[in-house]
Chain A
Amino acid sequence: MATPITRVQQPTRFQAAAWELGAFLRHVDYLLLLATGGLLAYGLWVLESVTQNDVPGDPGYYVFRQIVYVVVGVVLLAAAAVVDPHSYRRARWPLYGASLVLLLAVLVFAEEVRGSKRWIQIGFFNFQPSELGKIALVIVLAGFIAERRQRLAEWRTTLGVIGLAAPLMALVFKEPDFGTTLIYTAIVIGALFFGGTPWRHLAVLAVAAGLVAGALLWFLPSAGLDVLEPYQRERLVGFVDPDIDPSGSTYNVNQSITAVGSGGFDGRGEANATQTKFNYLPEHSTDFIFSSLAEQRGFIGASILLLLYAVVIWRGTKIVAVARDLYSAILAGTIVFALLIQLFINVGMTIGIAPVTGIPLPLISYGGSSLLTTLFLVGMLEAVHIRGRLAAAR
């Protein structure tokens, strides 16, 4: 009598791929995706209402271009979520070299726009290498520290991190782009912090940074040595006291604060937002877009934006905790920290609690380079999350 044979069927290749995809999709952080998507949609809406009068006869000029960037950026985000972050780690030295070359190329080839060289024209796209540099810097530092996890207590490691970041930072500073240099600084601090650098190292660095800032702003200028461009120092000092010269260096801040304040609780609406409409507010599609939003949509509109951001930061912070290894944790932590700092500096400058440094509001400001970079970084956060969860499940 024959017993029925129970056959364990080998899954086909297709089935295996489907299961894997299923597991993959189950571990996506949807809240983070939702908040990011919300910011993108909100950002397009804000951009549309803010730039209506900017190009006569073409109210959709900026939005149309931004939509194209968003589409490309979403594809980038998806790609970054799929690719294992460790593959970047292995390619970090070529990445680092490429960033150096590109940043050098900017200094050599770029055309000056309002006193600084930041963009390289590639076809119709104005490419900003310092944005790409952010990604490279995050990966290089995370890889560097993760490799030396046993020697974190040594000053060699800490100083090595700073030494790696220094050339990139110097090149960006030379453009000059003080705001992005600050973001690079945040990346360095984030990497050291989440890499587990000893507290005393961090304390020493903090004191040193304070001394350098003091030197740049007060001691060296009084000794006749100007490292900062005059406008940079004026803005930093003007940030401390915006009423020094209302139509000069702090014109932007004053106009911005007026715009934000005049928005009131529920905003002045598109038609009555005179600060934006009559161009009193400079750069209202890029660096000062938050002021325009606050003017047009008031405290409510601004709060919606900040809450969406809060979700992104909250989810990001959780991702640091679920990262499967030190490298991924540093990656996630640094990205979240840098995003937080960029958000603070950009929004802070428009409301007078941070210096005016000219960096975009991530995911909202008009401009392709920043948008694509930020979406790629969010994609990396997802990748860390998915792989952390998958590892935990096994």
Chain B
Amino acid sequence: MALRVAILGVLAVVVFCALFFRLWALQVISGERYLENANNNQIRSFGVLAPRGSIVDRDGDVLVSNKAGTLVQIWPAAIENLPVAERDRMLRQLSKLLGLKVPAVQEKVGESLESDPLTPVTIDTTVDEFKTAYLMEHQSEFPGVQITETYLRNYEQGDLAAQILGYVSEISREQLEAKADEGYRAGDRVGQTGIEATYDTYLRGVRGEGRVLVDALGRITSEREFSQLPEAGDNVRLTIDVDLQRAAEEALEYGVRLAHDQDEWAANGGALVAMDVSSGEILALASNPTFDPDIYVGRVEEKDLKRLAARNANLPTMNRAVAGGYPPGSTFKPFVALAAMEAGLLRPDEYIQCTGEEEIDGQIFSNWDPYKNEPMTVSTALANSCDTFFYQVALRFYERKDSPLQRWSRSMGFGSGTGIDVGPEAAGLVPTPAWRRKTFKTEIDKLWTSGDSVQLSIGQGDLLVSPLQMTRAYAMIANGGKLVEPQLVRSVEEPRAEGEPPVVLRPYTPKPPVEIGLDPNVVQVVQEALYDATHASYGTSQHVFGSFPVEIAGKTGTAEKFVKLPGFAGLRDQSWWCGYGPYRKPELAVCALIENGGHGGTAAAPVALKVFEKYFNVKPGSYSAVIQQSD
């Protein structure tokens, strides 16, 4: 045993000697050489952004593509060991060269020095060639600075459809934490709003990754070796038609001008939706005022963001067609009529006196035309937009304990989101007795009164709808009572070489419209009434659509809303028009809204007319349309 223990001892001595000698050889004898290796020959991994997919319209016309850009980045790790004064000097000089604020750059670099020194920080985008050349030539003065090519968004149609498309910017720290599992990395550019955000997964592609040898200053000393080549993102094809979208956006501006001409000085924006009545595909979705998404490309200027956020800019980034909540006014009456007939509260052939005013529970409610005094059926009352007729219908609803009007309204898509791809979406509000009880504090406010029913019957009071919800509901009337699902994206596609058709990766076929249980005969009564509203002598937008070569049916609305504007707070009329055409074979439903635009017939109806002109290819002036006051 003693021999064997001795052998163990000898073995231990041999092992330790071997280790010590080898360490001595590596560290003391050849230490300098290895130190040089460590400093010179360092592998760094790098990421390359993939070209982002394009967004095209239904016919393939490009809305957003890419253009080449340049990034100036800093490797925090490479400047970590510089003396503070030296680092400061470098950042100062760099900021001055690029025209950036010194503290902002210092803060950005300082933050990543602490959190993530191995990922380059982007200091600036789209720097001009002269500056990049200068940086390249003076690399030794700018340790850790690198110039990288990148892709930037290119808005080929200017500010067209800006709110739908949304914008792209560098991923924020919060987003990075929330999306850590989805393969996002620091420095990635992600869609922040609109289609860019909703379809980011498809658009962004696969980031390239690889290794490269760099020296201690971060200068690349070898070929780039990819472990993952960047893969371009897929394209998203919208249901939007570029031409119709442009017509819609121009029409909204025209509508605001019209309102101003009619002394509606407060008119300051609007929204328009044009939808295929049977599929729910959205051909145009416009919101005014709008903005230029190009300000988010490259370096984002503070003053641009301030301008967008300014009070008198009136929320240009908001997509009013989807996120706006407005009282619908008389454009809501067709749905009141449908609900009344379906609930057995009103017969199509029943006459009710349309008067100049109506006293209900001691309160006087007036008609928009104080001189009216004649019996009307529901059809005439709709075409005439008689308020007092609907007040009396409202009283019948008020008698019912099961709120049939609200229940029908909800099944027609009001009071909840439509599920469209671009958010945030306004759900709107369908007021019910239960809602009143829950929402208000005082006993008197908690009570649902006959006045609430009266207000609701003419689309006023607490009722709020979005232009998108309204368009879908008019599409429902047009297609005979089926609710469609609004759709903004046709497919996700993989682009092919020039001239070859793209490969569809993910088709989004429209969901079949849902029957909501409306009697076709009842729907037909309302259809005819809407036709009368645009064609009968007493129709509220007959002057606009009466001689249009394609038969259009639709309804005006003038809804009072309490608004706060610079220097004004009070009730203003929201100008609405909703309808569809061709009357006998409906294709397109359109809703137009001009905020504070006055009467529906003066501002909104002509706006919708412009869109129908474009859609049906009717030359303006080839027929007569009169702009006058009504409703």
Contact = CB atoms under 8 A, between A and B. Distances in A.
Contacts of A279: 118
Contact of A299 (B12, B16, B24): B24
B211 interface: yes
Contact of A340 (B11, B23, B24, B118): B11
Interface in B8-42: 8-9, 11-12, 15-16, 18-20, 22-24, 26-28, 30-35, 37-39, 41-42
B4 A258 contact: no
Interface of A is mostly: helix
B12 A340 contact: yes
Interface in A252-273: 257-265, 268, 271-272
B116 interface: yes
Contacts of A321: 1-2, 5
Contact of B19 (A264, A278, A351): A351
B16 A263 contact: no
B37 A278 contact: no
Contacts of B41: 258
B115 to A, nearest CB: 5
A260 B15 contact: no
A116 interface: no
A303 B43 contact: no
B37 A262 contact: yes
Contacts of B23: 260, 294, 299, 302-303, 306, 351
B81 interface: yes
B81 A262 contact: no
Contacts, number: 127
Interface in A104-156: none
B77 interface: yes
B216 interface: yes
A333 B115 contact: no
B19 A347 contact: yes
A286 interface: no
Contacts of B38: 258-259, 261-262, 274-275, 280, 295
A271 B31 contact: no
A247 B43 contact: yes
Interface residues of A, number: 51
A263 B31 contact: yes
Interface stretch (A15-23, A40-48, A310-318, A371-379): A310-318
Given A258-B34, A299-B28, A302-B27, 15 more contacts: A56-B116, A194-B4, A261-B26, A261-B27, A261-B35, A262-B34, A262-B39, A264-B32, A264-B35, A274-B216, A278-B118, A317-B5, A320-B5, A340-B15, A348-B22
Interface of B: 1-2, 4-5, 7-9, 11-12, 15-16, 18-20, 22-24, 26-28, 30-35, 37-39, 41-44, 77, 80-81, 115-118, 211, 216, 225
Interface of A: 53, 56-57, 193-194, 196, 247, 257-265, 268, 271-272, 274-275, 277-280, 294-295, 298-299, 302-303, 306, 309-310, 313-314, 317, 320-321, 329, 333, 336-337, 340, 343-344, 347-348, 351-353
21 contacts: A57-B115, A194-B1, A194-B4, A196-B1, A258-B41, A261-B34, A264-B35, A265-B27, A268-B35, A278-B77, A280-B42, A299-B23, A302-B27, A306-B19, A317-B8, A336-B8, A344-B18, A347-B19, A348-B18, A348-B19, A353-B18
